[in-house]
Structure 1
Amino acid sequence: MWRARLFDFLLFFSALAIAVHTRSLDVEVNLYIKALFLFWAFSTLYHRLRVVKKTGNTTVDYGISYSLSFGIFAGPLGLLIFETIYRFTVYINRKRTKTADPEEFWDTFYNIGSFSLAYSAAYYLYNLLIPFFETLPFGFWILLFLLVFVTSFLIDTFLITVFYMLGDVKTFGDAYDFYKSRSLTDMGKTALTNGLLLLFIHQAEWGTLFALFLLNYLVSLSFYSKSQSIQDKYERDKFEQMAYTDYLTGINNRAFMDKKMTELSQTEEYIGVVVADIDKFKSINDNYNHSVGDQVIRHFANQLKSYLNVNDNLFRSGGEEFTLFLRNRNYVQCVDLVERILRGVENSTVEVEFGSETVPISYTSSFGLYFYKISEQVPLEKGYIVADQLLLESKQDGRNRLTAVNGCNNAGKPVLVKN
C-alpha cells in the first residue's frame, strides 16, 4: 500500500512541478475564471452519470472528461487549478453522501496528479503538432482523436501501475485486458466533445459553449437512465428466475408451477398432466447418503427434460416428485411419450460419487397421467390432483409403471390405461 501511495504523490508533485514551471496562465484571468466556472459546474454535474467499476480493492470511475479541452485552452497551471477544485468538490460530495472510500482523500491526490499530467502532455503535444495537422483535411479532429488515445493510454498506465503495486494486476495479460477495455466509440465521443468545446471557448462563444455542455449532459442522462432501466429489469428478471428455479436441478420449482397453473387455467386447451417420482428413493438415501440422492434427483430431472419440447413444462413439485404439463398433443401421443420416458429411465444408469469411488446406480420411476380439457369446472389444479392420485395407483400396483386416464374420450367416459 505504501508504494502505491508514494506513487500517487509522485504523480501529484510532478504535475505541480510542471504547473509551477509554466509560471502563468495561457489566457486572461477574466476569461479563465469564466471558463473555469463553466467547466467545473458541468464536470461536477456530469460526475453523477459516471460508471463505477470495482477492481480489486480499488473503485474506478469511468465517464467523459472535459479536461483535454480545458488543458489545451488554459495550459498546465490552469489545468492543475481546475483539477484540484473539481476533484476536491467530488471528494467533499462523496463525504457528504457517505459514499467515499476509506482512502478517498489520498486517492484525490492521485486523480489530480494523473489527470493533470496526462492532459499537460496533451497540451504540449497539441502545440507541437497543430501546425502540421492544420495542413491536413480534418487535421484538427484527427489530432484531437490522437490526443484522446494518448491521454487514455497514459491514464490507464498510471492505473495499472497502482493496481500492480496493490496486487490487483499480476500479469501482462491482466494489463492488456485493462487497456483493451477502452472503447474506440467512447474515445471518439470524447474527442468530438472536447474538440467542439475547444473551438467555442477560443471564440468566446459562451452561449454555444453552455448549450453544448447542456446537450452533452442531457444526452448522457438519457443513455444513463435507459441503461439503469435495463439494469433494473435484468436484476428483476434475475431475482424472479432465482425465485422460480429449483436450486438442485435448475428447473422450475413448485412456486412457478402454481403460477403456471393459474395462467393455464384461464385457457381451454387439451393437456396431459403427469406426476412422476423415483421408486424407492428412501432406500437410495439410506443405503448411500443424501448427496448421492441429490445426484439421482438431478439425473432424473435431466432424463425428463431430455424428452420434452419447448411447449412442455417441467417442475420439481416435491422432494423426488416432478410434474409435467404435456401440451399440443393428443392422449395417445402423451401416453407414448411417458412410456418412452419410463423405459429410458429404467434402462439408464447414473454414475455417482460415493466415498472415494464412482458407483453406478440404476433406479426406476412411476407415473400418473391425466389427459383432459381444461375448463372452469376442472381447472388445472384439479387435473394435477387426479394425476397425483394416478401416480399413487402406479405405486400400489408395483411401481415402474404408468397409470393413465383419458378424461375426454369420444364416448364421454374415462378410459383407464395401466402399463
Structure 2
Amino acid sequence: MLQAKLFDISLFLVAILVAFFSKGILIENTTFIRTLLVYWVFSILYYHLRVVTRKNNTSIDYGISYSISFALFTGPIGLLLFETVYRFSVFFYKKWTKTADPDELSHTFYNIGSFVLSNSIAYYLFQNLYPFAQSIPFGFYILIFVLVTLSQTLTGIFLSLVLLILKDIKTIREASKFVFETISFLDIWKSAITNGLLFVFLLEGNWEVVIMVFILNYIVSTSFYSKAQSIQDKNERDKFEQMAYTDFLTGVSNRALMNKRMKELNESDEYIGIVVADIDNFKKINDTYNHVVGDLAIKHFADSLKQVVDTNDYLFRSGGEEFTIFLRNKSYEQCIATIEKVKEGFANNLFEVEFESKQIKIPYTASFGLYYFKTNDTITMEKAYISADHLLLDSKQLGKNKLSAKIA
C-alpha cells in the first residue's frame, strides 16, 4: 500500500534529520569501525534467533536489539550508519535466499528509521538524566531499563501505526492493545543488562569482555530459543492432532479418535457403558427443510449430548447423525439414568432455527443403544460397540425414541 510505504520513508527521513542534527560520531574513526564490525557480526549471528509472527498480512520479527548501547557509545549518527549496514545486509540476505517480502525494501527503510529514531530519543534522554541517575543506587541500570522500555514502546507504536495504515489493525484501542502485547519485561531486563554491560565495557575499551558478553548472550539466547521452538513445535503438533481428531461441524471428537480410544480402553480393565445414538427420522428433516437445517439439527443434538457427559467420558460423532458415547466409572444403573435424562430432554425440547426468513421450532427425538461391560475381560471395545449398535437398531424397531440396554 502506497500510504504504508510513504510512512516508512518518512520515518527513515526523520531519523536521518535527528541523526545529522546530533554532535556527530562521538568516538574516533578506528574505534568506530571496530565497534561497527563487532556489532554487525554478532547481530548477523543473532538474526536466526528472531521470532517471526504474523498480524494478518504483515510479518513481524522480534529479537534482542543492541542498538541502544551502540547509540550511547557512538551517538545517533553512528547508530544510523550501523542500522543502515545491518538492515541492508539482512535485505540482501533475504533477496539471496528468496525469503524477502514483496515490500522488503520499504520494510528495510522502516526498520532503520524506527530503531534509529527510538534509540536516538533514548540517547538524548540519557545525556540529560544520567547526572541524576548517578546519585541513586543502581541508578545507571535503572536508567538503562527505563530507556529500553521507552525504546521498545516507541518501536511498538511505530509498528502499530503501520498496521493501522494497512488496516491489519482497525481501531486505536486495538493498536494500544497491540503495543502492550509487544512489551515483555523479561526481554526488557535482558536487553537492559546486556546493553548496559556492553556500554560500560566499551567505555573502558575492554574488547575481550565486550566479545565475551556477546558470546554469552548468544549462548543464553540460543538455549531460550531452542526451548521456545520446542514448545512452539509441540503446540503446533497438538493443534494439528486436534484438527485431525475433531469433527468440524459439531466440535466433538471424530471417528478416527474413537478408534484410537477403543484401542487404549481395551487395556484399561474398567466398566464402560457404550452408547450409540442417532436422530429419529433425520432424512425427513432434510427433505422437509434443507441440508443446512439438517446440519443445525446435528449440532443441536451434539450440544445436548455434551451436557450430560462427564470430563472422564468420551463423546464422538461416529457417523452422519450418529453419535457414540463411552460412559466411564459409572454403574449400569447410572448409565441408564444418564441416557434417560437425555432422551426425555429431546421429548420436551424443540429445536429452534431460521427457515425462509422465519423462526420455526422443529421437534425431533432420538434412539439409543447401551451396552455395558468390563474391558479386558471376554469382549473387546470393538465388539461391544457392534453390540451397542445392534441395540440402537432394536430401539428403532420398537418405535423409536427408545433406549435398548444390555449388560454383559
* Normalised TM-score (structure 1): 0.90
Please give the residue correspondences for 1:47-126 in structure 2 after superposition, counting only pairs within 5 Å. Answer: 47-55=47-55, 57-126=57-126
Provide the residue aligned with 2:275 in structure 1.
274
Once the two structures are superposed, residues 318-375 of structure 1 have per-residue CA deviations (whole angstroms, 9 ceiling, x without a partner) of: 1111212222222233223323322222222211222111111222222222222223
Distance 1:22 1:364, change over 3 A: closer
Amino acid at match of 1:293: G
| Aligned CA distance change for structure 1 residues 150 and 330 (closer, same or farther; 3 Å) | closer
1:273 Cα offset (Å): 1.7
Alpha-carbon offset, residue 23 of structure 1 = 7.2
Deviation at 1:270, TM superposition (A): 2.1
Amino acid at match of 1:398: G
For 2:340 and 2:168, the matched residues in 1 are separated by 56
Tell me the amino acid that sits aligned with residue 336 of structure 2.
V
1:226/1:350 CA distance change after superposition, 3 Å: same
Answer whether contact 2:23 2:75 (CA < 8 A) is retained.
Answer: no
Say which one has the larger Rg: 1
2:24 and 2:76 in contact (8 A); partners too: no
Query: How many angstroms apart in 2 are the aligned matches of 1:348 and 1:370?
Result: 26
Change in Cα spacing, 1:24 to 1:348, as seen in structure 2 (3 Å) is closer
Q: Which residue of 2 aligns with 1:150?
A: 150
Show the counterpart of 1:415.
none
Q: 1:198 Cα shift?
A: 0.4
Partner of 1:299: 300
Match of 1:190 in 2: 191
| In 2: Cα distance, 1:165 partner to 1:302 partner | 42
Q: Which residue of 2 aligns with 1:365?
A: 366
Percent identical pairs in the alignment equals: 54
Give a deviation string over 1:217-275, Cα, whole Å, max 9, x none: 22222222212211111111111111111122211111111111111112332222221
Residue segments in structure 1 that go unaligned for 5+ positions in a row:
408-419
In 2, the alpha carbon distance for the partners of 1:162 and 1:304 equals 47
Over residues 159-192 of structure 1, what are the superposed CA-to-partner deviations in whole Å (9 max), with x where a residue is unaligned?
Answer: 3444444444554323322332223333232222
Match in the other structure for 1:257:
258
**SS of the counterpart of 1:245?**
coil
Partner Cα separation in structure 2 for residue 319 and residue 58 of structure 1 = 40
- Return the letter of the residue paired with 1:73: F
Matches within 5 A, 1:10-409: 10-20=10-20, 24-55=24-55, 57-169=57-169, 171-181=171-181, 182-375=183-376, 377-407=378-408
Partner deviation per Cα, 1:39-72 (whole Å, 9 max, x = no partner): 1111111122222233454433222110110111
Equivalences, count: 407
Provide the C-alpha distance between the structure 2 equivalents of 1:131 and 1:302, rounded to a whole number of angstroms: 66
Supply the distance in 2 between the matched residues of 1:261 and 1:125 (Cα, whole angstroms). 66
SS of residue matched to 2:75: helix
Q: How far apart are residue 194 of structure 1 and its match? A: 0.8
* Contact residue 274 and residue 370 of structure 2 kept, 8 A: yes
Cα 1:272–1:56 change in 2 (3 A) is closer
Structure 2 Cα separation of the partners of residues 20 and 383 of structure 1: 81
Any idea what the Cα deviations from partners look like across 1:101-147, whole Å, max 9, x if unmatched? 11112322232233223323333332233223222222212221232
**Structure 1 residue 22: Cα displacement:** 5.2
CA contact (8 A) 2:370 2:403 kept: yes
Q: Return the offset for 1:90.
A: 0.8
SS at match of 1:82: helix
**Per the alignment, in what secondary structure is the counterpart of residue 141 of structure 1?**
helix
Instruction: Rate the CA distance shift 1:48–1:304 in 2: closer, same or farther, 3 A.
Output: same
- Is 250-259 or 16-25 further displaced after alignment? 16-25
* CA deviation string 1:382-412 (max 9, x = no partner): 11111111211221222222222221xxxxx
CA 1:338–1:38: 2 relative to 1, 3 Å: same
Q: Distance in 2 between matches of 1:251 and 1:235?
A: 20
Deviation at 1:380, TM superposition (A): 0.9
Higher mean C-alpha displacement, 197-206 vs 395-404: 395-404
- How far apart, in 2, do the equivalents of 1:311 and 1:162 lie? 48
**In structure 2, C-alpha distance between the alignment counterparts of 1:308 and 1:226, rounded to whole Å:** 37
Query: CA distance change for structure 1 residues 346 and 4 in 2, over 3 Å: closer, same or farther?
Result: closer
Question: Partner of 1:410 in structure 2?
Answer: none
Shift of 1:20: 4.5
Distance 1:96 1:173 in 2: 39
What is the root-mean-square deviation in Å for CA atoms of aligned residues?
2.2
CA distance, structure 1, for counterparts of residue 319 and residue 265 of structure 2: 21
